[in-house]
Amino acid sequence: MILPAARLANAEQNGRTVMCALCGVLGATEHWTDAVARPGVFTRNTDAASRRRERMNRAAAANRVLKHYAMNLADWQGSAFVLSTATGKTEIVDNLAHLWMAAERLLGRPCDPLDEELVALMERELG
């Protein structure tokens, strides 16, 4: 949908980001972070066990950051993820691209995985 110029200018003045929804429709169902069974597409892991292991490794990496926000990410049947807070709030996340937006919604505050203090803390934890 193309917004009229006046409406677009109003959205920009209010600090909102405006984007056409067509971008989400044009892409494939797979996200670039997900391994698929076709050789050479997104991954070299063409067998199911390797793809599953790769997905678990990505979830583990996300959990190393999420633990600092008292949150946890779990795989859900290899098709989505379940993001949970320590208080029991949960949200289904389709892919890792939606993870941080969902985390912020559940926390009710910004969640920056690239925060300098968080990165420094995680580096100290690794030793």
**Could you give the dihedral angle defined by the CA atoms of residues 115, 61, 97 and 67, in that order, rounded to the nearest 10 degrees?**
-60
**Secondary structure class of 19 (helix, strand, coil):** coil
User: For residue 68, what is the DSSP state?
Assistant: G
CA distance 67 to 101: 16
Mean pLDDT of each 10-residue bin along the chain, 127 residues long:
48 57 50 57 66 88 95 92 95 91 94 91 88
pLDDT of residue 44: 61
